[in-house]
Structure 1
């Protein structure tokens, strides 16, 4: 084998090894679907409330899916860090109840149902994201900390904030429907 051929093979092996290492450390996202089957609690960390009997991982990689009409007031009973929250087209009118902070990463929030979905827990926007009202509306009744940029995509339903909106992240709106920032002192970049 020539010296040059050996270098090419060594370089390819190094590239493959680097790619394998990056894949091994990249966080995997996990979809978790709420079905509210616990006989005792509405708590986020009660595995009986989630399909498969296991609560979502609490490391920013879980994609939470809400549908159906059972236990419509899930309680964020411990601080939770998720990638996204989606209400599918069979969701009842959920009210994500207060307890502690729900941190949401780049996957954002999407409402695909005709009903209004409500968040009564404080929310931290942990990574730039979109909140989308594809069918129904979103109401945020608690404080929102913009640690990153937030785009309100409201082509159909409205998005309403009743609590304080704070932080250095930019707030942008797109779509034909309304976005209302109620009793807030937010002074960052805005549409």
Structure 2
């Protein structure tokens, strides 16, 4: 596993891991309702229009629990890394990502926006055809592959465009937003107001 990461006003200080596979810990589910196994996994570099994130904080939602239980057989895909509410730092960005950079504080979002489909263009972005909520989606949109694998090379599947029960994750750039930070390293006051929302709580914890 790589060394500790230090955040200073949104800057990421670490050995250069860009373009390299990272070994880190993740909570992996190997079957419906089976206990999570915290183990070392491989997180591969982000591809075009993708972002690799160092997860700082994550929380659990009932959607994680119901999907982990696998009551809907069509949603089953194992091994899998669950989690979809978190906050972190952009560790590296893939080709074509221009709206954020390494070291930015970010929030991965399970309901992304492609900006091109009929729903995004008519302001119904929560129904995005490519990055909308889809519990059955288990791979990246760009190539149908996963960015996670076991240490012996077996694929580990994604969950809800995010997979945050891990120290590092890879998401499509459409499924991550940058958190504004002022010149003193404080979070945007607007984010502080949203303290009752689970994702916003993760954002607030960044400054603690």
Query: What interval of TM-score do these two structures reach, taking the shorter chain for normalisation?
Result: under 0.3
Q: Determine which structure has more spread, i.e. the larger CA radius of gyration.
A: 1
Report which of the two has the higher share of strand. 1
- Scaled by the length of structure 2, what TM-score is found? 0.19
- Scaled by the length of structure 1, what TM-score is found? 0.20
